[in-house]
Structure 1
Amino acid sequence: MSSRTEPDNKAIGQRIRAERKKLNLSREEFAEIIGLSDYYVGQLERGERQMSLPVLVKIAKCLHISLDYLVFGKIPSAEPSVNEPHDNYTSLSDEELNELLGKCSSKELELIKKLIKVVLPYVNIE
């Protein structure tokens, strides 16, 4: 890696595209999940735009990658565990889940399905 002080937008965009594709998300689906326009995501992936810190964080969280990797291409030495205890976690009963899903439109249900597909590979239930 060079000692550049400015982030390389083209390299960041390439990492975004590669990680998005690993999750089998279209650019449109990814843009919808992170709340940005498809056009803007395309500009980011081509390295044509520099994004704000909140956008960087949103993208890194969605793609399950570190900011260090996203910005500089540095692969972290140890991944945080997904199975760490969560004190604020409460389980939903099947009835509660069905009630919540029953209130969703077909478009919302499709988005939920895609979100589950993104998250499931990172959940390790023993």
Structure 2
Amino acid sequence: MIDIFDLGLRIRNVRKAHNLTQEQLAEKIKVSPHYVYELEHGYKSMSIYTLANISTVLDAPLDFLVFGKEPATTPENKDYITHDDLDRLVESIPLYKRDSAYSALKNLLPYLK
């Protein structure tokens, strides 16, 4: 089953990695910016045609966008990662607290097995 919230989150993250605004992506796939907003927040689903256009414009594999499956790692596609609970947690940390969170995690890593 496709989780449209996760799909939208992956679209948003890849769009941002390409330094595109919602408006720019909307223009490229010929939809409204508000529709892109609704897709990225999991409020709307999309046609396979729209999904294919997003995949093409963002140069992102459909397997990654739809299921979060990371493609075989090569230097060319290292930007595509599966966004899990840790990624979501980090994204929720206010910018002014991220240095502290980074330091705490960095100090904790040697103790994780």
Q: Same fold (TM over 0.5)?
A: yes
% identical equivalent positions: 43
Letter paired with 1:65: A
How far the C-alpha of 1:55 sits from its partner, in A, is 0.7
Give aligned pairs, total: 75
Deviations 1:27-48 (CA, angstroms, capped at 9, x unpaired): 1111001111101110000001
Query: Is residue 57 from structure 1 mapped to residue 28 from structure 2 by the alignment?
Result: no
TM-score after normalising by structure 2: 0.63
How far the C-alpha of 1:78 sits from its partner, in A, is 6.0
Instruction: Mark the runs of 5 or more structure 1 residues left unpaired by the alignment.
Output: 1-5, 82-126
How far the C-alpha of 1:60 sits from its partner, in A, is 0.5
How far the C-alpha of 1:24 sits from its partner, in A, is 0.7
Instruction: Mark the runs of 5 or more structure 2 residues left unpaired by the alignment.
Output: 77-113
CA distance in 2, matches of 1:39, 1:13: 13
Counterpart position of 1:104:
none
Letter paired with 1:72: F
Letter paired with 1:77: A
TM-score after normalising by structure 1: 0.56
| Counterpart mapping for 1:66-81 below 5 A | 66-77=61-72
CA distance in 2, matches of 1:78, 1:17: 21
Secondary structure in structure 1 of the residue aligned to 2:9? helix
Following TM superposition, where does structure 1 have runs of at least 4 consecutive aligned residues deviating by more than 3 angstroms?
A: none
How far the C-alpha of 1:76 sits from its partner, in A, is 1.5
How far the C-alpha of 1:65 sits from its partner, in A, is 0.7
Secondary structure in structure 2 of the residue aligned to 1:69? helix
Counterpart position of 2:29:
34
CA distance in 1, matches of 2:17, 2:71: 18
